[in-house]
């Protein structure tokens, strides 16, 4: 008996042991059988081909079409154009349509993928949903809220990559963020002791092209890190927590989840990686996105190494789709340390998974640590005013010293300056020791954005993208970067940082500009209540404060008493 290697009998094999070309009466029968098998294989292949490529055999919601439509500028088609299968009938409004579409070429790069529909009337592509790459990199999955006639999967080819906006629960998104963000992270959920999720999904209206991926967060600030460490302590509680997260993602019909478990102890490194691996596996099978917000690794100068703490970036990068680095606040070391940190991470994680976070907040550094401030709070400190000897009697036509308490160079303070070492507008002041404040704005953010193309990072995130006038407006730096891929590297005009003094009446000796942080005010000749205003700029916006002075009439100095001469009446 002839057998193929592996003991598999040929389907046409006979007991004679002869091949199909051997003579004898059984040859024709074997040829007929072979032809039947070939035909069957052809029919199966044709069925599979038509199912995938839009023929009558296609039973999916979308079938491949013969249309060839060019991708818009800044995008590339990574799938064929697919047409809705009209045999499926009309889809009821509000019905989720789960689809899977094969890529033209396999890829392991999941960055900037999305589903787009083609609008015949406008001859334009429009974004409709996020696209999640499967582990094999051969197809993408997504959930559509409608069934447009033509769709395709495209990749945004902008060198900037993702533009991610963090937003407080049900916050109001900055208009520029609404126009440019590709992902919005709303701070909606936190874990409880049972492993379930507390909180509600934000109800915000976003453009269809924007992915709404809520954040599940815990940190020292809310003592959530202690709770998380208990959840991660054993496999049973970890798995329960994973199931609760997956359930919340499915119940809220969001495209994914961001995990921001900050401030974990270093001994949680292995358990956190196991948790992320399990969660990533479950979400990936459902075509969902897993992003992580992680503290930046810290350079340890004394040991010449980079310390990741509880966060094993190499292992986390295997399971998560996006790794967002939280703001690195210490500007005194940022420009040197961040480059070394990114070089270190590039050896562990695909760089296009790493997203650099910039912030509209200022930072104050003191002996007790770092403190986050709104720009309004920071400039409120800088514009604090007093009158030297305040509380003493102020008189008309008198020289009075008005002092910017926290910018007075006579007190060995820097005043508002551009610091070329940190590439920030900054000032120093004294309060329970020396303090330094760095202002984040258009200028400083530009010098941070240059790290993204230099290290081929996957995009930029904004720590707080709310429409809040008390925060620095850093979007003028981000918008041209998103559009052209190159940061704007400028520094403010030094004249714009010079204090400007304006009295409601009276004069300032030497003019309105007092670069030393204090001026001499010549009080008015008439008594009354007056104000002196200090106006400061961080190079972008103007901030001011004022001090009120009650100016009183000059006290008359008694003259020498007159002595009456004999026989004369006293003078006066």
CA dist., res. 15 & res. 33, Å (int):
16
**What is residue 35's predicted lDDT score, i.e. its pLDDT?**
54
Token pair for 519: 């001026």
CB 554 within 8 A of CB 393: no
200, pLDDT greater than 80 = yes
CA dist., res. 182 & res. 154, Å (int):
14
**What is residue 130's predicted lDDT score, i.e. its pLDDT?**
79
**What is residue 15's predicted lDDT score, i.e. its pLDDT?**
34
Q: Give the 3-state secondary structure of residue 76.
A: strand
262, pLDDT greater than 60 = yes
62-156 domain in CATH 2.60.40?
yes
CA dist., res. 334 & res. 447, Å (int):
11
CA dist., res. 133 & res. 114, Å (int):
10
**Burial class, 340, CB count within 10 angstroms (exposed 0-12 / middle 13-18 / buried 19+):** middle
Token pair for 549: 């002075």
CB 483 within 8 A of CB 494: no
- Please give the model's pTM, rounded to 2 decimal places: 0.73
Confidence of residue 562 (pLDDT cuts 50, 70, 90): very low
Over the stretch 345-400, which tens digit does the pLDDT of each residue have?
999 998 889 999 999 999 999 999 999 999 999 999 999 999 987 678 899 999 99
Average pLDDT score over residue span 73-99: 87
Q: Among 88-92, 504-508, 530-534, name the one with the lowest average pLDDT.
A: 88-92
Domain 385-406+493-552: which topology?
A: Immunoglobulin-like (2.60.40)
CA dist., res. 568 & res. 190, Å (int):
97
**What is residue 39's predicted lDDT score, i.e. its pLDDT?**
53
Domain 162-358+451-484: which topology?
A: TIM Barrel (3.20.20)
Tell me 557's DSSP state: P
**What is residue 238's predicted lDDT score, i.e. its pLDDT?**
96
Average pLDDT score over residue span 520-524: 95
CA dist., res. 256 & res. 285, Å (int):
12
Q: Give the 3-state secondary structure of residue 49.
A: helix
Give the position of tokens 């707080």.
Answer: 464
CA dist., res. 107 & res. 78, Å (int):
9
Average pLDDT score over residue span 92-99: 84
CA dist., res. 252 & res. 245, Å (int):
11
Give the position of tokens 């030393």.
Answer: 516
Over the stretch 223-261, which tens digit does the pLDDT of each residue have?
888 999 999 999 999 999 999 999 999 999 999 999 999
Average pLDDT score over residue span 176-202: 94
Q: What is the mean pLDDT of the chain?
A: 86
**What is residue 381's predicted lDDT score, i.e. its pLDDT?**
97
Over the stretch 135-184, which tens digit does the pLDDT of each residue have?
888 999 988 888 999 999 998 776 678 999 999 999 999 999 998 899 99
* 418 phi, psi to nearest 5 deg: -90, 120
**What is residue 34's predicted lDDT score, i.e. its pLDDT?**
54
Residue 237 CA: distances (Å) to CA of 193, 227, 234, 259, 319: 10, 12, 6, 17, 19
**Burial class, 117, CB count within 10 angstroms (exposed 0-12 / middle 13-18 / buried 19+):** buried
> Hey, which residues does 77 pair with through a beta bridge?
154
**What is residue 512's predicted lDDT score, i.e. its pLDDT?**
84
Domain boundaries, the chain: 62-156, 162-358+451-484, 385-406+493-552
The rounded percent of the chain whose pLDDT value lies above 90 is 63
Element (H, E) at 150: strand 150-156
The rounded percent of the chain whose pLDDT value lies above 70 is 86
CA dist., res. 357 & res. 291, Å (int):
14
Over the stretch 288-310, which tens digit does the pLDDT of each residue have?
999 999 999 999 988 889 999 99
**What is residue 168's predicted lDDT score, i.e. its pLDDT?**
97
Residue 166 CA: distances (Å) to CA of 120, 184, 197, 387, 485: 35, 6, 19, 42, 21
CA dist., res. 13 & res. 26, Å (int):
11
**What is residue 145's predicted lDDT score, i.e. its pLDDT?**
83
Domain 385-406+493-552 in the same topology as domain 62-156: yes
* 385 phi, psi to nearest 5 deg: -120, 155
36, pLDDT greater than 80 = no
Q: Among 11-20, 199-208, 414-423, 468-477, name the one with the lowest average pLDDT.
A: 11-20
Token pair for 378: 């920071």
Is pLDDT larger for residue 182 or for residue 109?
182
CA dist., res. 15 & res. 283, Å (int):
54
Element (H, E) at 380: helix 375-382
CB 360 within 8 A of CB 440: yes
Tell me 263's DSSP state: S
Tell me 171's DSSP state: P
Token pair for 17: 């042991």
Confidence of residue 48 (pLDDT cuts 50, 70, 90): very low
> How many CB atoms neighbour CB 383 within 10 A?
21
CA dist., res. 37 & res. 469, Å (int):
74
> How many CB atoms neighbour CB 257 within 10 A?
25
CA dist., res. 478 & res. 488, Å (int):
9
Confidence of residue 208 (pLDDT cuts 50, 70, 90): confident
95, pLDDT greater than 70 = yes
């Amino acid at each position: 008996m002839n057998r193929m290697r592996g003991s598999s009998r040929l389907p046409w094999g006979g007991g004679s042991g002869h091949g199909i070309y051997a003579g004898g009466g059984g040859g024709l029968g074997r040829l007929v059988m072979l032809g039947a098998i070939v035909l069957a294989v052809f029919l199966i292949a044709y069925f599979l081909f038509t199912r995938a490529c839009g023929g009558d055999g296609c039973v999916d919601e979308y079938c491949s079409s013969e249309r060839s439509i060019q991708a818009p500028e800044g995008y590339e088609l990574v799938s064929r154009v697919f047409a809705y299968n009209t045999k499926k009938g009309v889809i009821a409004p509000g019905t989720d349509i789960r689809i899977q579409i094969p890529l033209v070429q396999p890829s392991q790069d999941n960055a900037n993928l999305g589903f787009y529909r083609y609008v015949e009337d406008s001859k334009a592509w429009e974004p409709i949903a996020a696209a999640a790459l499967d582990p094999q990199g051969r197809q993408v999955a997504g959930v559509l809220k409608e069934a447009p006639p033509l769709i395709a999967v495209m990749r945004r080819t902008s060198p900037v990559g993702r533009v991610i906006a963090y937003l407080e629960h049900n916050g109001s998104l900055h208009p520029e963020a609404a126009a440019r963000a590709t992902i919005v992270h709303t701070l909606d959920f936190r874990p409880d002791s049972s492993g379930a999720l507390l909180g509600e999904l934000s109800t915000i209206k976003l453009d269809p092209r924007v992915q709404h991926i809520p954040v599940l967060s815990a940190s020292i600030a809310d003592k959530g890190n202690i709770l998380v460490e208990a959840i991660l302590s054993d496999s049973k509680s970890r798995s329960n927590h994973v199931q609760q997260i997956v359930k919340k993602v499915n119940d809220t019909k969001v495209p994914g989840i961001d995990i921001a478990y900050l401030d974990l102890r270093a001994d949680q490194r292995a358990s956190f990686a196991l948790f992320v691996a399990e969660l990533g596996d479950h979400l990936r099978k459902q075509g969902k996105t897993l992003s992580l917000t992680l503290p930046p690794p810290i350079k340890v100068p004394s040991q010449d190494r980079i310390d990741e703490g509880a966060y094993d970036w190499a292992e986390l990068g295997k399971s998560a789709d996006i790794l967002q680095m939280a703001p690195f606040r210490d500007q005194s070391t940022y420009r040197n340390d961040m480059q070394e940190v990114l070089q270190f991470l590039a050896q562990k994680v695909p760089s296009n998974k790493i997203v650099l976070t910039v912030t509209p907040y200022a930072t104050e550094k003191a002996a007790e640590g770092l403190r986050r401030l709104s720009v309004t709070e920071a400039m409120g400190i800088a514009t604090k005013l007093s009158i030297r000897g305040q509380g003493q009697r102020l008189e008309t036509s008198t020289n009075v010293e008005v002092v910017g308490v926290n910018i007075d160079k006579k007190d060995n303070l820097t005043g508002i300056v551009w610091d070329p070492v940190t590439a920030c507008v900054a000032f120093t002041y004294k309060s329970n020791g020396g303090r330094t404040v760095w202002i984040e704005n258009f200028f400083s953010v530009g010098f941070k954005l240059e790290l993204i193309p230099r290290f081929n990072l996957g995009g930029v995130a904004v720590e707080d993208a709310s429409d809040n006038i008390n925060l620095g407006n850093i979007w003028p730096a981000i918008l041209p970067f998103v559009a052209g891929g190159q940061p704007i590297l400028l520094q403010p005009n030094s004249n714009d940082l010079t204090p400007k003094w304006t009295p409601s009446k009276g004069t300032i000796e030497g003019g309105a500009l007092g670069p030393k942080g204090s001026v001499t005010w010549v009080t008015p000749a008439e008594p009354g209540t007056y104000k002196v205003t200090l106006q400061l700029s961080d190079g972008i916006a103007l901030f001011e404060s004022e001090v009120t002075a009650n100016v009183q009439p000059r006290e008359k100095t008694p003259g020498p008493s007159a002595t009456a001469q004999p026989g004369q009446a006293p003078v006066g």
